[in-house]
Amino acid sequence: MRFSTRAIHAGQDPDPVTGSVTVPVYLTSTYQQPGPGKEGKYVYSRTANPTRTALEECLASLEAGRHGLAFSSGMAATTTILLSLKQGDHVIAGDDIYGGTYRLFEQVLRNYGLQFTYVNPENPDNVEKAIRKNTQLVWIETPTNPLMRIVDIRQISKISKKAHALLVVDNTFMSPYLQNPLEHGADIVVHSTTKYLGGHSDLIGGATITKDVDVQSRLKYLQNAVGAVPGPLDCYLVLRGIKTLAVRMDRHNENTRTVSEFLAKQPKVEKVNYPGLPDHPQRSIIKRQMKGNGGMLSFQLRGGFNQCKKLLERLSVFTVAESLGGVESLIEHPASMTHASVPRDRRLKLGISDNLIRVSVGIEDVEDLVQDLNRGFKAL
């Protein structure tokens, strides 16, 4: 079955008891057992819940994996993966990953004896050079948040495999509709389902997907041990969002192209970061691993923070907010919002400058989006 069909049906057969066409929300914490010492299919909802199972099966199918796990947030999924390491293990991570992921690695997990090296993975040699004997994990996002850099999943996977390290790809920005990292050699895909998968900015959730049964068993064990699980209602909402993922992503793709073209023409815009730029230097990688350019872009505005503030405060269709991937257009200033937890020196070195603005282009009428931006730019 093809993507859109799987999005609607994978893991979501009509309920065998009632015939309910949509997956029921199983609001239960525990399940009756056949007898002491005899376990039924479900025992306790921290371990498993039928609404969550439906979501996990659907996610596995959409990412071309075999096993999915749904989590209470993207960060809970990330934390659980990292908990599979032990003291002294080494992780190589992309240098402009989501600020919250960087904070978790640096401010929390370093205290537990994990080692982290950050490199620009746009050049795979940087990853190869950073490999150590104790490297267990390579962690990348592509496109990166917020600079929209493209990382060659296949090349990084070859390097990771040679080093016997697992490659984790955070696929939040693309969604499974536009990119399937497992097909390019990744070992684990992680998502913040808060974003495109949920799609309506009404929940917080996360997911991991893998083809490897041993990786799945380890993550499942850890998830149950630490309790990083979503409630059934949130699982239902993600499932409902996923049903329209394909049509939403098509519209995100179209709208974002139009917005990027508008921004590229503005004299006050220094640079646009968007995978769909006609002269993008990594076009061949984009063509190989992505099925569209997605709904995210960032740009640098001439004049620094005050100009950014002025523009953002003048907009009325775009909402100034963190997060991304919902039906509504969001705009934000990474230096003071999503990436404020990255120390200033490091931020500037990476290119997350004070005049960088990130946009999550929604699926409103694109004419209204362009008009809103136009009004904002005129006021600068």
User: Could you say which of 152, 170, 234, 372 contacts ligand P1T (CB under 6 A)?
Assistant: 170
Cα separation of 207 and 248, whole Å? 20
Residue range at the interface with ligand P1T (CB under 6 A); choices 60-68, 167-175, 215-223, 346-354: 167-175
Handedness of CA 45, 46, 52, 56 (dihedral sign): negative
DSSP 210-264: ES-HHHHHHHHHHHHHHT----HHHHHHHHHHHHTHHHHHHHHHHHHHHHHHHHH
Q: Are 166 and 119 in contact (CB under 8 A)?
A: no
129: annotated active-site residue: no
Q: What is the 3-state secondary structure (H, E, C) of 165-225?
A: CEEEEECCCCHHHHCCHHHHCCCEEEEECCCCCCCCCCCCCEEEEECCHHHHHHHHHHHHH
Residue range at the interface with ligand P1T (CB under 6 A); choices 67-75, 213-221, 306-314, 347-355: 67-75
46: annotated active-site residue: yes
- Does residue 196 interact with ligand P1T by CB under 6 A? no
Residue closer to ligand P1T (CB basis): 61 or 192: 192
- Does residue 323 interact with ligand P1T by CB under 6 A? yes
User: Could you say which of 143, 199, 206, 275 contacts ligand P1T (CB under 6 A)?
Assistant: 206
Handedness of CA 174, 178, 184, 186 (dihedral sign): positive
- Does residue 208 interact with ligand P1T by CB under 6 A? no
Which entry of 152, 170, 234, 354 is annotated as an active-site residue?
170
- Does residue 80 interact with ligand P1T by CB under 6 A? no
Least gap, CB of 42 to ligand P1T (angstroms) = 25
User: Which helix (H) or strand (E) is 275 found in, with range?
Assistant: none
- Does residue 73 interact with ligand P1T by CB under 6 A? yes
Residue closer to ligand P1T (CB basis): 75 or 83: 75
Which entry of 15, 31, 46, 89 is annotated as an active-site residue?
46
Residue ranges in contact with ligand P1T by CB under 6 A: 73-75, 98, 100-101, 141, 145, 170, 172-173, 192, 194, 204, 206, 322-324, 338
